Amino acid sequence: MAYRASGLILFAFFFVCSKVASTDNSNVKQKEINRTETCQNHPAHTYQVFVPALDVSCKKLPLMVVIDPHGDGKLAIKQFKEAAQIYPMVLIASNQIKNNVSGYPQLLDELIADAKAKYPLGNTIYLGGFSGGARMALDYAMNRSVDGVIACGALAEPDQIKAINCRIMAIVGMDDFNFIESARFIIEPETIPQNLALVTTEASHSWPNTGQLKQASGYMTLFSGENNSCLDTNLLLKTYLAEQTAKLNSLTQSGDELNAMLLERNLSLSKSFDPKGSFHSQYGKQVKEEAFLKQRDNLIANLRFESSARDQYYQALQKKDSVWWKNEIKDLNSKISTEKDRQRNLVYGRIKGFLGVACYSICSHTANQKEVSVLKQVVPVYQLLEPENPDQLYYSAVLAHLEKNPSKEKYYLARAKEKGYQGSLAIP
């Protein structure tokens, strides 16, 4: 009841201020909101909310629902806070919705309904997610009415993307093990669905930085060119296009033909960004240039090498001993440090990332099944690959628990929590 009351008070504040202000209330500000809320109909479901400081006349704001794969609502809000301050929107992020949680579409429904009951929201709903959070956002958009998805570090199949009735901005790191999901579109740009814009970064499998998410939010907000009383649309559009043009010039000068092509295509999809069709024309020429075709063919060759290496490493996970893996990972790290060919260097980074997620997947399954022999084989490899990863430290604690070693269990669980793991051992 307390949170419902706070929502009513917030609406009352907006109403009263609009009445008592003079003919110009543009200087009357509602203070920034950054707090934890509780779903009225589900008290166990808490979420973080952020509303930027705005003129009280700004109502019917867009809603951005952010999904972190570990259910870290505060981190999710932090990633989009800069974007929300420039392109005013209400941010919400669940502390319960995370990888492998059951019934997440219904949890998202109740989260959105609760926010709408408490904050001055309109009908525009965006979703943003990273990794498993991106997959949940895309899946939700297939079955619900939303206006846009910012999918980071993961993407859906082409047919699934086409079935989603909204714009999608996909952001993926060039050395992210999930890069292969987006690479198909770089190889054959003519197959990119019309509702998909694609951006690559230098990051690995992690949330994009706040600047990249600000640009993605700008793309969503400005795409249609619709006026918004809370925005100086013309100024924001001018600033956004200046940033994108400078980025395109930088990519062209550095000889990055693949990413230059993607940016030209992204901008060509909107008349707001490309009223004269200049970006569309540049894109059409780019995909026929010899330099682009050469980089594309190099990407194809490296992806074939990567696919073969992944298969061999996956087969080795439950067959090779820790001595073999120690030497192999040492060699892989050396190649990442010394390989001068950029495309091949990225391949080695993606292979290492793939091995990490393969270890996570195997550990997750075998921990639930209490398959100690498999955990004893895979956990040491996971430790060598990602010694500071909280998930690795957690499964090291699980193995110690199953081996009845309480001191090691306590040690690894404490280290997992130091690195951000929340909760205790969850072994059925």
Among left, alpha and beta (phi > 0; psi -120 to 50; other), residue 404 is left
146 occurs within a structural domain: yes
Calpha distance 129→15 (Å, rounded): 33
Calpha distance 172→164 (Å, rounded): 19
How many structural domains are present in the chain?
2
Query: Sign of the C-alpha dihedral, residues 107, 112, 117, 123?
Result: negative
Residue 278, amino acid: S
Nearest to 155 by CA among 111, 199, 112: 199
Look at strands 148-152 and 121-130 and give their pairing: parallel
294 occurs within a structural domain: no
Q: What are phi and psi of 386, to 5 degrees?
A: -135, 75
My answer on whether 343 and 222 are in the same domain is: no
Token pair in block for residue 22:
């003079």
**How confident is the model over 129-176, as pLDDT tens digits?**
999 999 999 999 999 999 999 999 999 999 999 999 999 999 999 989
Token pair in block for residue 227:
């006026």
Calpha distance 191→149 (Å, rounded): 19
CB 37 within 8 A of CB 118: yes
| pLDDT tier, 202 (very low <50, low <70, confident <90, very high otherwise) | confident
274 occurs within a structural domain: no
My answer on whether 222 and 362 are in the same domain is: no
Q: Report the share of the chain in percent with pLDDT over 70.
A: 93
Token pair in block for residue 168:
């999608």
Token pair in block for residue 169:
């901005």
Residue 111, amino acid: L
Of the residues 177, 207, 231, the one at which a domain ends: 231
| pLDDT tier, 420 (very low <50, low <70, confident <90, very high otherwise) | confident
Nearest to 130 by CA among 167, 158, 171: 171
245 occurs within a structural domain: no
My answer on whether 197 and 51 are in the same domain is: yes
CB 152 within 8 A of CB 328: no
Of the residues 212, 231, 250, the one at which a domain ends: 231
| pLDDT tier, 424 (very low <50, low <70, confident <90, very high otherwise) | confident
pLDDT computed for residue 10 by the predictor: 40
* Length of the chain (residues): 428
Helix, strand, coil percentages for the chain (3-state, nearest 5): 55, 15, 30
Q: Is the pLDDT score of 6 beyond 70? A: no
Q: Is the pLDDT score of 287 beyond 70? A: yes
Calpha distance 7→142 (Å, rounded): 30
259 occurs within a structural domain: no
Q: What are phi and psi of 65, to 5 degrees?
A: -95, 120
pLDDT computed for residue 428 by the predictor: 63
Domain holding 178, by residue range, is 2-231
Token pair in block for residue 48:
């973080």
Calpha distance 170→109 (Å, rounded): 23
Look at strands 148-152 and 167-173 and give their pairing: parallel
My answer on whether 217 and 333 are in the same domain is: no
My answer on whether 180 and 327 are in the same domain is: no
My answer on whether 168 and 21 are in the same domain is: yes
Average pLDDT, the chain: 90
- CATH code, 147: 3.40.50.1820
pLDDT computed for residue 23 by the predictor: 38
375 occurs within a structural domain: yes
CB 262 within 8 A of CB 200: yes
| pLDDT tier, 262 (very low <50, low <70, confident <90, very high otherwise) | very high
pLDDT computed for residue 13 by the predictor: 37
Token pair in block for residue 304:
């074939």
Tell me the chain's radius of gyration from C-alpha atoms. Answer: 24
CB 71 within 8 A of CB 48: no
| pLDDT tier, 11 (very low <50, low <70, confident <90, very high otherwise) | very low
My answer on whether 65 and 200 are in the same domain is: yes
Of the residues 210, 231, 252, the one at which a domain ends: 231
427 occurs within a structural domain: no
My answer on whether 223 and 361 are in the same domain is: no
295 occurs within a structural domain: no
Q: CA 248 → CA 121, 141, 199, 251, distances in Å?
A: 35, 30, 12, 5
Contacting residues for 346 by C-beta, under 8 A, at least 6 apart:
174, 175, 179, 302
CB 150 within 8 A of CB 216: yes
